[in-house]
Every structure is written in C-alpha cells, then in structure tokens.
Structure 1
C-alpha cells in the first residue's frame, strides 16, 4: 500500500501537473500567433518566443522571476520558465506551500486561471501517488549513479597517476 504524500510532495505533483499540462498550452496560446507550436515542448517555445519575436521582455528579463505586479504575457512566460527550471532541478520532489501558492497564482496567466485553480484542489489519486513514487525511485537512482560516477572519477585519477609513475620508471 502506498504511503500518504506529504504536503510538499503533493505540491510537487500539483506543480508538475501545472507545468506539464496547463503551462505548455499557455505558452502555445501566445506562440501560435507566430508559429504552429503543437509539436514543440515548453522550453523550445519560450526560447523561440524570446529570440524570434518582437515581444517586450519582462522588466528583469526572462531569466529572473518577475514581480507579482508584472502581468504581461511575457512575464507569465518568464514565470513558467523559472518554475519549470526549479522543478527540473529538485532532488527531493517537494515544493513548500509558499512557493506553490505563489507559483500557481500566475502560471499560465489569466486565461488559464480556472484550470490552475482546479489543479490546486484536484484529488491526487493512486495514479498520481504512483507517479510520485516513481519519481522518488528515479531520483534515488540518479543519486546512486552520481556517486558511482564520482567513485569512477577518483579511481580513474588514481589509475592515471599510477600510469604516470610507471612511465617515469621506463627508460
């Protein structure tokens, strides 16, 4: 039987649902005025919008989280990019309530507000819990692989030093 998710884990799952479901459509809505985006992922769409259009960037640019006062479509794109990067680099699969509530307030902008509100209260069923457990297992495997790579780097460095010592002894 799967254990109950913590609040932070639920926040992570909900944020994942937003960033994988609603946010790509929000970026697509703006992007489709320029190109057909149905085959593009969110990162590509934002990169293309930043570099191939005359859209006015948010005050701090696309790489910083815009203030809550900035409500332009490009500010919403910067938010999507910011939170997507956070989600992609989390190791523990948890998002605290403050970040979750702040993020969900503008992800996708006003056109997607009702969907964002629905994700906030969506009942996370067994499938969602299984996804979360798979993510946890994957993260654990990634950590183990990173440790293995580090061990191999150390062993390789030791081996390289031994080879150099042997080279020095050969006339």
Structure 2
C-alpha cells in the first residue's frame, strides 16, 4: 500500500484528535450546562430561539432532527456533533465570550472555558478548509499543544492526546482519514455546485419576479386603457346624441323657414322683387341697345345730340 508523507500523517493525527477526542471533552462541558436528564425540557423551553437559529441556517436540518427526534425518542447529547454543542452553548448557556469572540483563535494566555471552546472550534474549521490534506510540522506541534491543553482543561484527557501523538498509525487509520479527506473535498465541490445552482435559482427567481411585476404593470395599464375606452365610448355616445339633437333642431328650423316662405305676404314680396328685377334687367338691355346704336351712328359719321 502507498505510504503517506509526514505532513499527511500530521493531518491524520490532528483529524483523529479533533474528531475523536475533542467532541468528548466538549460534551463534558455541555452536559454540565444541560444535564442529560433535563435536556429534552431545556430544548423545548428554548424552541422559539432554536427555530430562529434554524431559520438563519445556523442549525442544519439534520441537527434539528437530532434536537427534536420523533416520539418516543428523546434528544441525547451523545449524538450531538461538536458544531451543534458549541452552537447551543453559545446561544442558550450563560457563557462569557472570549475577548476576540467565539470565531477567532484566543491567545495562549486566555484559558477560560469559553476560550477553550473557541480554540476547538477554530482548529476544526481550519482542518475542514485545508485543500491538500497536509499540515506543516511546525504548525502541527504548536496547534497540537494548544488543542490538547484545551481538551485537558475541559475533560482531563491529556494522556490520551499524548498517546495519539506518538502511537504508530496503522494503515487502516491512514486510509480512513484520507478517505475522509477525499470526502471533505467532494463535499466542498458539492457545496460549490450547490451555491452556483442557488445563485442561478436566485437570478431566475429575480427574473421571474421582474416578469411578474411587468405583468402586473401590463394588467394595470390594460385596466386603465379599458377605463379610457369606456370613457371614450360614453363621450362618443354623448356626441352622437348631441349631433342628433342638432339635426332635429336644424330640420325644425328648416321647416319653419319653409312655412314662413310659403306665407302670402312673403310670396307677394318675392313676386314684386321678381318684377322689379325683371324691369331692371329690361332697362339695362334698352340702355345697352341705345349705346350700341350710337356707336354705329358715330361710325357712319353722324352725331346724335
């Protein structure tokens, strides 16, 4: 079987320390804060706060199922991972955060229980984010001392930690931890793919929302156009009615004029006007005839006075 390098062996040992021993040390502190006999009642009492942590994705679905298993099962801290226990201690217990908070590595001089919990959390995150499955020996020795002292203060397990650091690793341990490392890498890739899919979904969701908004605007505009069309129809009806009334008034006025023009006085007046017009026309013709005769006589050399 293939051998592994010193750096890879450092990774295996630290993995065993953080996944095998540190959870038991954290659980000792956890059980002091949440006694196993009262754990179920304590969690139910804080149900609303825990629901909010789940909503914020601080507690995962699988962790939630461990906290609130199906009846008749009850929660048991032996099945809680380190991440879940640290989350519950931070949010439900009366702990005083380290000076730099729970998300930073505390200085070596800070040795409170809260600082030790922060140390274990920090190195677990560090290990989870390693990309090559190797740990430099200098860093390994410093980190090992920091972690084992924290474990010893929490659970008095220094002897077990020292034994793990020096005992020969059999091939099974190596293969298991390297398989775990490969699994971590696969999980990271899956998480990246999930994030990419999530972003794509969010973009599609945003586009869908924009389409819905556009559709709502179109619906509103359609309603406005429909209302405007109804108003125009009403106005058109009113204009048509007004036109009909004008037509009626015009016909009445025309009839009145025709009736007036048919009166005897109007007829006599029109006849008189016609005779006068006829006489005026005949007079003009006589004058025109006389003027023509004078022109002819002048042409022939005669002058009429």
Q: TM-score, normalised by structure 1?
A: 0.76
Query: Which of structure 1's runs of 4+ aligned residues deviate more than 3 A?
Result: 135-147
Which structure would you say has the larger Rg? 2
1:82/1:146 CA distance change after superposition, 3 Å: closer
State the 1:82 CA deviation. 0.3
Q: What is the aligned partner in structure 2 of residue 61 from structure 1? A: 101
The answer to whether the 8 Å contact 1:43/1:81 transfers is: yes
Q: Distance in 1 between matches of 2:115 and 2:184?
A: 31
RMSD value, Cα:
2.6
Partner of 2:152: 109
* 1:85 and 2:125 are equivalent in the alignment: yes
- Which of 90, 101, 106 aligns to 1:50? It is 90
- What is the alpha-carbon distance in structure 1 between the residues aligned to residue 185 and residue 79 of structure 2? 31
Contact 2:15–2:177, Cα closer than 8 Å, also in 1 = no
Paired residues, what number? 152
Specify which structure has the bigger relative contact order, considering alpha-carbon pairs within 8 angstroms and separated by 6 or more residues: 1
1:15-54 matches, cutoff 5 A: 15-35=14-34, 36=36, 37-54=77-94
- Deviation of the 1:146 alpha carbon: 8.2
In structure 1, what is the Cα distance between the partners aligned to 2:23 and 2:126?
Answer: 16
User: 8 Å contact 2:152–2:158 — kept in the other structure?
Assistant: yes
Distance (Å, rounded) in 2 between the aligned partners of 1:140 and 1:61: 28
Give the gaps of 5 or more residues in structure 2. 37-76, 205-305
TM-score by length of structure 2 reads 0.45
